[in-house]
A and B are shown apart, each in its own frame.
Chain A
Amino acid sequence: MTRRRRLVVAAVGLLAAAVAPAAAHGAGLSGAADRSLSVPTWLFLTTGGGVIGASFLLASFVTDRSFIRRVHGWRRGGLRPARAAHWLGRAVGLGGLAAVLVAGLVGPREATRNAAVLTVWVGWWSGYTMTTYLVGNSWPAVDPWRTLAAPLPSLDVDYPDRLDAWPSVAALLGLVWLEVVSPVADRPRFLAGVVAAYGVVTLAGAVVFGADVWFRRVDPVARLFRYFGRMAPLHYDDGIRLRLPGVGLDEPRLVTSRAEVAFVVAVLWVTTFDGLVATPLWRDAAVTVVEAGVPPGLLYPAALVAGYAAVCGVYALAVRYSKRAARTYLPADVLARRFAPPLLAIAAGYHLAHFLGYFLELAPALATAAIAPLSPPEPVALVLPGWFGGIELAGVLLGHLLAIWVAHAAAYDVFPGKLQAVRSQYGITVAMVCYTMASLWIVSQPYAVPPYVT
């Protein structure tokens, strides 16, 4: 949120003379909380937690296994995409990549007018990512690196199995660290460099291990979009098929190892971390810690890793409690794998809450910059109405509700006893309630520029 939010503050700030100053507050949910200040923060947070708890109780009323199976097994369609669609996807991906590199290197230096910055953050990371969980994962068809890697020769070195998905976990954390501390959303030249470096690493990896192995096991972006795509209504299964949103998350084959559980938890944690570093509390804590003698360069990576470890610990604890409550002989690892995918729905909910407003506000600027990338006109930003914060809050809650339902369905699939399945969710529901309250607290905080970043 940090860097990109600054971008929106800058863009909307151009309009500040014309519109109410409140609009310059920027994207994200902070605006939502400002508007509902008559409700004290503790009550706002407790209500969020209460909604999650209540929806768990409501879900537990559904005890009919065949009903759950019917809902989750519902499919329609089977349309085979035309050959032209593949080419179109590739053309869009390659065209977008070329535009980012060219506009990044030779376009205007102001971030709000630069097509590279707007394409990456507004078009791709906000808008396109939303389509992966709201519509379907089209990334394998669009991914320009995959298109470029396809014709390259491969050394077919065996990918070490013990590495599993750990490189994607590390890469995801690394990318978020880079996003928070470096000027990737402020300086187009730097952004183009990061994109190019990512491409070099990706292509090298694809050559060494084979493109298929690389994009299936290592590439963090491909993995993220594949996971998000599991909750989307459209999916590819011998043709494009329609299903109910979220039901794909309950398939046992989605997360099959400890490293993949770690990746799911990392997706959840980075969405939170992104918001956390833009709160006044973080600002005060960071200043205190650095004044006590900790080098500023160490601050963000340490907080990122420590927070990640803490979230992993909470999840492990919730799973352990789940095992105890269900009195099952299944190993905790099996439960951890089975109950991890619903967390993706929560992460997607936060992504929507963080980025829907941001995307809509800056979409006009992206459009104008895309028309004339090298000499764009003055950026235009949309000012969203006050009630828009409500839609963003709904995103957070809907993500949690979907997660509660999917975990409920997964528990019914795993356990023979109905009450055993309900009991197995106690620990996980408590963790979700705490997580909701923490996240709502973050989004209710006013935006504070993260200290010690360039």
Chain B
Amino acid sequence: MSGGRASAGDTAAPTGERAAPPPKPPEEPAVCGHCGDRFADDRLLALHRGRAHREALTDAEVEAYREARTEERDDVRLFRVKALGLLLLIYFGFIYVYAFVL
């Protein structure tokens, strides 16, 4: 882990900072050809390229970005359903407990 204030550039487009592998890293990190940042899988890399290097993308990278966005949209939709379910569970759980206790 790099400490200190030298690494203040943790904005949307960090440069060369993503060098600390997460626990259980993939065998081969996906490395961004534009800035050298590393990612756990190709989809995150494609999303990163689309956001951080939009101007410099090749046609293949644009296509990969589009695909990654579509996949992500499906996942987000599924996540929302789950989150809604959990919210309802919390809501009715509390109503039930309050009705029981008071």
Return chain A residues, CB-CB under 8 Å to B7: 331, 333-334
Structural contact, B86 and A329, CB atoms closer than 8 A = no
A396 to B15, CA, bound (A): 38
* B27 vs chain A, min Cβ distance (A): 14
Q: How extensive is the interface on chain B, given as a class?
A: 35 or more
Check: B23 CB closer than 8 A to any chain A CB. yes
The residue from A46, A258, A331, A418 contacting B17, defined by CB atoms under 8 A apart? A331
A145 to B4, CA, bound (A): 29
Check: B60 CB closer than 8 A to any chain A CB. no
A63: nearest residue on chain B (CB-CB)?
Answer: B76
Structural contact, A333 and B98, CB atoms closer than 8 A = no
Structural contact, B47 and A416, CB atoms closer than 8 A = yes
Check: A252 CB closer than 8 A to any chain B CB. yes
Residues 12-54 of chain B, each 1 if its beta carbon lies under 8 Å from chain A, else 0:
1010011111111000010000000111110111011001100
Check: A327 CB closer than 8 A to any chain B CB. yes
Interface residues in A322-361 (C-beta closer than 8 Å to B): 323-324, 326-334, 337-338
Structural contact, B5 and A330, CB atoms closer than 8 A = no
Check: A417 CB closer than 8 A to any chain B CB. yes
Residues 91-102 of chain B, each 1 if its beta carbon lies under 8 Å from chain A, else 0:
100100110011
Return chain A residues, CB-CB under 8 Å to B10: 252, 330, 334, 337-338, 414
Structural contact, B39 and A329, CB atoms closer than 8 A = yes
Structural contact, B2 and A331, CB atoms closer than 8 A = yes
Q: How extensive is the interface on chain A, given as a class?
A: 35 or more
Structural contact, A419 and B72, CB atoms closer than 8 A = yes
Structural contact, B22 and A323, CB atoms closer than 8 A = yes
A414: nearest residue on chain B (CB-CB)?
Answer: B10
* A329 vs chain B, min Cβ distance (A): 3
A54: nearest residue on chain B (CB-CB)?
Answer: B90
Output the residue of A39, A324, A331, A417 with the most chain B CB within 10 A: A417
Chain A binding surface, main DSSP class: helix
A260: nearest residue on chain B (CB-CB)?
Answer: B5
Interface residues in A55-89 (C-beta closer than 8 Å to B): 57-58, 60-61, 63
Check: A179 CB closer than 8 A to any chain B CB. no
Structural contact, A419 and B75, CB atoms closer than 8 A = yes
Return chain A residues, CB-CB under 8 Å to B24: 324
* A43 vs chain B, min Cβ distance (A): 6
Check: B80 CB closer than 8 A to any chain A CB. yes
Output the residue of B10, B24, B41 with the most chain A CB within 10 A: B10
Structural contact, B22 and A328, CB atoms closer than 8 A = yes
Structural contact, A164 and B5, CB atoms closer than 8 A = yes
Check: A34 CB closer than 8 A to any chain B CB. no
Interface residues in A369-401 (C-beta closer than 8 Å to B): none
Known A-B contacts A54-B87, A330-B14, A419-B79; the reply to A256 vs B8 at CB < 8 A is yes
A192 to B102, CA, bound (A): 51
> Hey, which bits of chain A sit against chain B, CB under 8 A?
38-40, 43, 46-47, 50, 53-54, 57-58, 60-61, 63, 164, 252-253, 256-258, 323-324, 326-334, 337-338, 413-414, 416-420, 422
Nearest 4 A-B pairs (CB), nearest first?
A329-B18, A327-B40, A416-B48, A416-B47
15 A/B residue pairs, CB under 8 Å, sorted by A:
A39-B102, A50-B90, A50-B94, A53-B90, A256-B5, A323-B22, A329-B29, A330-B17, A331-B7, A337-B10, A338-B10, A416-B51, A417-B44, A418-B76, A422-B79
With A43-B98, A257-B3, A327-B40 given, name 10 new contacts (CB 8 A). A252-B10, A253-B8, A324-B23, A328-B22, A328-B40, A329-B38, A331-B7, A333-B2, A333-B7, A413-B11
> Hey, which bits of chain B sit against chain A, CB under 8 A?
1-5, 7-12, 14, 17-24, 29, 37-41, 43-45, 47-48, 51-52, 72, 75-76, 79-80, 83, 86-87, 90-91, 94, 97-98, 101-102
